[in-house]
Amino acid sequence: MFNILSILAKYIFVFIIYMFIFLIIRMIYLDINQLSIEKNLNGAYLKLLNRLDDLQYKLKDSYSIADEITLGRSNDNDIVIKSPYVSKHHFKIVKDEREFYIEDLNSSNGTYINGERIYDARKLKKGDIIKVGELEFMFMDMN
């Protein structure tokens, strides 16, 4: 009885090991793909700090900001987040003379910059961490 199981198992083992390798290579490949997208960003952008796998909804790794960007649950936003903790229109970031300002749009759960809740427009600097619900973005500005 053991013999037959052992013979079956050896095929299963080879299958699992190669499946495992395939998965890892595939994930690394996706990672690198995302890195190269990141490289193309040369203005200001928001970088998602959460791990994509942990999220139940679709998100990109980073969002570049041209002149204005809005975030919220409804579909007319630039960044749409289908999370119960995010308001329909949560915040927006606008550009004014090379500077970027973030403004909370009276969201129910609030917008936090570096752990501090904001109530009005606030200037962003490179490396600021923006927290919305369970999501964290880092503000990056390459200029």
Instruction: Give the footprint of another protein on this chain (CB under 8 A).
Output: 1-7, 9-14, 16-21, 23-28, 30, 49, 51, 53, 127, 138
CB of 142 to another protein, least distance (A): 12
Three-state secondary structure string covering the chain: CHHHHHHHHHHHHHHHHHHHHHHHHHHHHHHHHHHHHHHHCCCEEEEECCCHHHCCCCCCCEEEECCEEEEECCCCCCEECCCCCCCCCCEEEEEECCEEEEEECCCCCCEEECCEEECCCEECCCCCEEEECCEEEEEEECC
* 60 vs 88 by CB, closer to another protein: 60
CB of 51 to another protein, least distance (A): 7
* 28 vs 66 by CB, closer to another protein: 28
CB of 8 to another protein, least distance (A): 8
* 6 vs 42 by CB, closer to another protein: 6
* 20 vs 119 by CB, closer to another protein: 20
